[in-house]
Amino acid sequence: MTMPAESHNRSPLIDETLRDAREKFAASHPKAAVAFQRACAVMPGGNTRTVLFHGPFPIRVVRGEGAYLFDADDNRYLDLLGEYTAGIFGHSNPVIRSAIDKALDEGWNFGAHNAYEIELAELVCARFPSIDRVRFTNSGTEANLMALGAARCFTGRDKVMVFNGGYHGGVLYFGHGGSPVNAPYPTVLAPYNDVDGITSLFEKHGRELACVLVEPMMGSGGCIVGSDEFLQTLRELCSDAGTVLIFDEVMTSRSAGGGYQSACGILPDMTTLGKYIGGGMSFGAFGGREDIMAQFDPASPDALPHAGTFNNNVVTMAAGIAAMRDIYTPERADALFALGESLRNRLNDVFRAQDAQFQATGLGSIIGLHPTRVVKGSPDHDEGDDRLMELLFLNLLERGFYIARRGFIALNLEITEVELDGFVTTVEEILKAYPVEFAAQ
């Protein structure tokens, strides 16, 4: 991270303000502090999911209800993180609850085909235009791994094009030089939203590429939306080279009834899904063109294997049906999208009015806050002063709002406009409380 020269003058002040905010947080979360000590004795860093960690130690949630989370230290937070998009139904939706209760009344762990999986598969195939056939997994990561395998077997090629800053799961991360625990695929790393860049990479590697794996909006990479021109060019390059185009819609599928693909009208050959579609239970899915997916037909002599003890577990399947059939209709998807667009615009208005060093990016109900005015969407560019993000995050916690430490927001269906008014006003108050620290550079 680099900082503009002028910001060095205020740098010690930011350190001091942040130290005070951390101390204040620690003093007001004594039970979370004790839980953290206990957790550290049995889990590295007291953590079993890296992205949830924040300093000085994480809040300890004990209960969720509607749009709210409650922690061990008796604080209530409006949940604006929405379980990184999986928690779109809030924490206690009665329709999902009764679907799960009914499924459990009928017993679980069948180790056999059940009726639920057919209905959920029908709903998914009917909703997402590129999905002729679908298979379920336990996570979005697994869905992407299976889609890559399917594309490589289908084309008989090895290489996979991914994008700088892309995230497709814990073993498929391509920002900041990639992750040392990544699955060892031969990758061609391409620049996101760069039409010339992908065109020249296809000239060089096109015929060796099994597939392109792309998020229509880079989610973890900062909520950067892929331009229509970029996605359309990818579509054409893939068609010309016989390369399978895979849209990772694990996050973006919520942006319209038929996913982002239906909104932008650009259809991939395969799509991966995850997060909210299982009603908030562990979920993933990969699907696409019938000829590609037919490779998994177990009745065929050379079928590709697709394993997973919990792929069709009745809790996820039943919750998913309730979620997609009864709750997250295309109309609800449109309304949530509009709510998010309006929130992002209002946040940017506040940032501009306060002359603050922040910008909000994103798509509909998914928003990324950045402690910088210029967001380019490449992890190689200056991403701003992360201390400002932490200062905003700790101040929001103190005032009862939970977002991701890195500035990620995903709205859930339980949040009202009045609650979002309160959030925007609170952001404004925080910016006013630290005018020097947050001042645009």
Bridge partners (DSSP) of residue 408 are 368
Q: What residue type is assigned to position 156 of the chain?
A: G
Tell me: does residue 274 bind ligand PLP (CB under 6 A): yes
CA separation for the pair 53, 31 (Å, rounded): 16
Tell me: does residue 141 bind ligand PLP (CB under 6 A): yes
Q: Which of 24, 354, 386, 366 is nearest to 215 (CA)?
A: 366
Enumerate residues 27-86 that contact ligand PLP by CB under 6 A: 84
292: phi then psi, degrees, rounded to nearest 5: -75, -45
Tell me: does residue 284 bind ligand PLP (CB under 6 A): yes
Q: Which of 245, 250, 350, 411 binds ligand PLP (CB under 6 A)?
A: 250
The least CB distance from residue 164 to ligand PLP, in Å, is 15
CA separation for the pair 348, 361 (Å, rounded): 9
The least CB distance from residue 357 to ligand PLP, in Å, is 26
Tell me: does residue 378 bind ligand PLP (CB under 6 A): no
Tell me: does residue 243 bind ligand PLP (CB under 6 A): no
Residue 74, SS3 per DSSP: coil
The answer to whether 132 and 106 are in contact (CB under 8 A) is no
Tell me: does residue 278 bind ligand PLP (CB under 6 A): no
Q: How many CB atoms lie within 10 A of CB 306?
A: 17
Lookup: tokens for 431: 């910016």
Tell me: does residue 140 bind ligand PLP (CB under 6 A): yes
Tell me: does residue 117 bind ligand PLP (CB under 6 A): no
Q: Which of 15, 112, 130, 87 is nearest to 403 (CA)?
A: 87
Q: Which of 251, 321, 369, 410 binds ligand PLP (CB under 6 A)?
A: 251
Lookup: tokens for 260: 């982002």
* Nearer to ligand PLP (CB atom), residue 202 or residue 260: 260
Residue 190, SS3 per DSSP: strand
Residue 380, SS3 per DSSP: coil
End-to-end CA distance of the chain: 15
From the list 167-175, 329-337, 341-349, 377-385, the region that binds ligand PLP by CB under 6 A is 167-175
Tell me: does residue 169 bind ligand PLP (CB under 6 A): yes
Tell me: does residue 175 bind ligand PLP (CB under 6 A): no
Q: Which of 89, 68, 64 is nearest to 79 (CA)?
A: 68
CA distances from 173 to 169, 214, 273, 377 (A): 6, 12, 17, 15
The least CB distance from residue 268 to ligand PLP, in Å, is 13
Q: Which of 343, 301, 323 is nearest to 257 (CA)?
A: 323
Q: Nearest 5 degrees, angle CA 19-CA 23-CA 28?
A: 150
Catalytically active residues, by annotation: 167, 248, 275
* Nearer to ligand PLP (CB atom), residue 32 or residue 285: 285
The answer to whether 289 and 150 are in contact (CB under 8 A) is no
From the list 73-81, 96-104, 139-147, 310-318, the region that binds ligand PLP by CB under 6 A is 139-147
The least CB distance from residue 403 to ligand PLP, in Å, is 15
Q: Which of 159, 168, 346, 405 binds ligand PLP (CB under 6 A)?
A: 168
Residue nearest to ligand PLP according to CB distances in the complex:
140
Tell me: does residue 408 bind ligand PLP (CB under 6 A): no
* Nearer to ligand PLP (CB atom), residue 90 or residue 219: 219
Enumerate residues 198-227 that contact ligand PLP by CB under 6 A: 215, 219-220
Please work out the total of residues on this chain that contact ligand PLP, with binding judged by CB under 6 A: 16
Residues at the site binding ligand PLP, with contacts judged by CB under 6 A: 84, 139-141, 144, 167-169, 215, 219-220, 248, 250-251, 274, 284
